[in-house]
């Protein structure tokens, strides 16, 4: 993994340049195992990022979730990540495949994890379908987010999977706030609602609109993930579909 990825990994813990990796602020506890595609990426049994199972042998996440010095373990089939649930499957990563244009900054922040062995698909573990090409998401559409991250600034990560709803925001508003860090055709902009939204620890988790996976949690305002003045940003999957499919075909 390139050295620059170490630089952005800091976003998960402390943050730089006013942005940080995204947990669910507020929100509600998800029905256990209602999202069988959810993955918890862990180091020494500690949650660091989210991810989504897109095939029995591949998990999709954010590129900045790769720690340059420690290997990740993918935990599937979990609801409470602090308990040894019989439904859980812990699988090591065989290969890290960040996007080739990822430099450790905000753009091209997407990565495929090739699992060391195939996940066993059952009622607790199952992949989510990738979106179709060029699906247009209109502003103010409500989308679901989920994760085990912090429930607010300076708060601990959640033991159980939580979920919330965010609304798609006009890209011009994200351009105004995030300036050169936001690229509309490769990113999706959302606004937090009273019901909650993503925060630190949710990076790599899903943005699901109208039942379809549309984005991967990228970044929020450092220490202000619950502030509606700062839009949340997700990596837009539509743009990356050719790359994703090519990598999984290898």
Q: Please give the C-alpha separations between residue 92 and each of 44, 70, 217, in angstroms, as whole numbers.
A: 12, 12, 22
Residues 6+ apart with CB under 8 A from 200: 12, 13, 15, 20, 21, 22, 23, 149, 150, 153, 220, 225
Q: What average pLDDT does this structure show over 10-39?
A: 66
Q: Which listed residue (107, 109, 202, 238) is catalytic?
A: 109
State which fold the 38-127+241-249 domain adopts.
Thrombin, subunit H (2.40.10)
> What pLDDT digit, counting tens, does each position of 67-89 carry?
878 999 999 999 999 999 999 99
Which stretches within the chain are classed as H helix? 4-9, 171-178, 237-249
d(CA 167, CA 39): 23
Q: Is 44 a catalytic residue?
A: no
**Predicted model pTM:** 0.89
φ/ψ of residue 181, rounded to 5: -80, -10
> What pLDDT digit, counting tens, does each position of 144-202 carry?
999 999 877 778 889 999 999 999 999 999 999 999 999 999 999 998 877 679 998 99
Domains 38-127+241-249 and 129-238 share a fold: yes
- The pLDDT assigned to 23 comes to 43
Q: Is 64 a catalytic residue?
A: yes
**Band (97; pLDDT cuts 50, 70, 90):** very high
Residue 219 CB neighbours (<10 A): 31
**Band (222; pLDDT cuts 50, 70, 90):** confident
- The pLDDT assigned to 52 comes to 98
Q: Which listed residue (47, 64, 99, 232) is catalytic?
A: 64
Residues 6+ apart with CB under 8 A from 29: 160, 161, 162, 163
Question: In CATH terms, is domain 129-238 a member of 2.40.10.10?
Answer: yes
Q: Is 203 a catalytic residue?
A: yes
Q: Which listed residue (203, 226, 232, 238) is catalytic?
A: 203
- The pLDDT assigned to 160 comes to 96
Q: What average pLDDT does this structure show over 205-225?
A: 93
Residue 106 CB neighbours (<10 A): 23
Ranges of each domain in the chain = 38-127+241-249, 129-238
Tell me the average pLDDT of the chain: 88
Say whether pLDDT at 218 is over 70: yes
User: Under a CB-based contact definition with an 8 Å cutoff, are residues 59 and 244 in contact?
Assistant: no
**Band (18; pLDDT cuts 50, 70, 90):** very low
Q: What average pLDDT does this structure show over 34-60?
A: 97
**Band (2; pLDDT cuts 50, 70, 90):** very low
């Amino acid at each position: 993994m390139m050295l620059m990825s170490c630089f952005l990994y800091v976003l998960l813990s402390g943050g730089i340049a006013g942005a940080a990796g995204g947990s669910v602020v507020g929100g509600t506890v998800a029905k256990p195992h209602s999202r069988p595609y959810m993955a918890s990426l862990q180091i020494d049994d500690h949650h660091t990022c989210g991810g989504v199972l897109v095939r029995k042998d591949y998990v999709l996440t954010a590129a900045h979730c790769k720690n340059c010095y420690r290997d990740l373990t993918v935990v599937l089939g979990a609801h409470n990540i602090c308990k040894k649930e019989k439904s859980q499957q812990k699988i090591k990563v065989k290969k890290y495949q960040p996007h080739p244009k990822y430099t450790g900054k905000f753009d091209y922040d997407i990565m495929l994890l090739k699992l060391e062995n195939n996940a066993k698909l059952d009622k607790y573990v199952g992949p989510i379908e990738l979106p179709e090409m060029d699906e247009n998401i209109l502003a103010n559409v409500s989308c679901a987010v989920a994760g085990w991250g912090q429930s607010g600034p300076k708060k601990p990560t959640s033991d159980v999977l939580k979920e919330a709803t965010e609304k798609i925001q006009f890209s011009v508003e994200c351009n105004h706030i995030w300036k050169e860090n936001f690229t509309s055709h490769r990113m999706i902009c959302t606004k937090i609602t009273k019901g909650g939204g993503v925060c630190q620890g949710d990076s790599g988790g899903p943005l699901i609109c109208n039942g379809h996976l549309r984005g991967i949690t990228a970044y929020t305002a450092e220490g202000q993930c619950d502030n509606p003045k700062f839009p949340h940003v997700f990596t837009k999957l539509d743009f990356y579909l050719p790359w994703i499919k090519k990598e999984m075909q290898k």
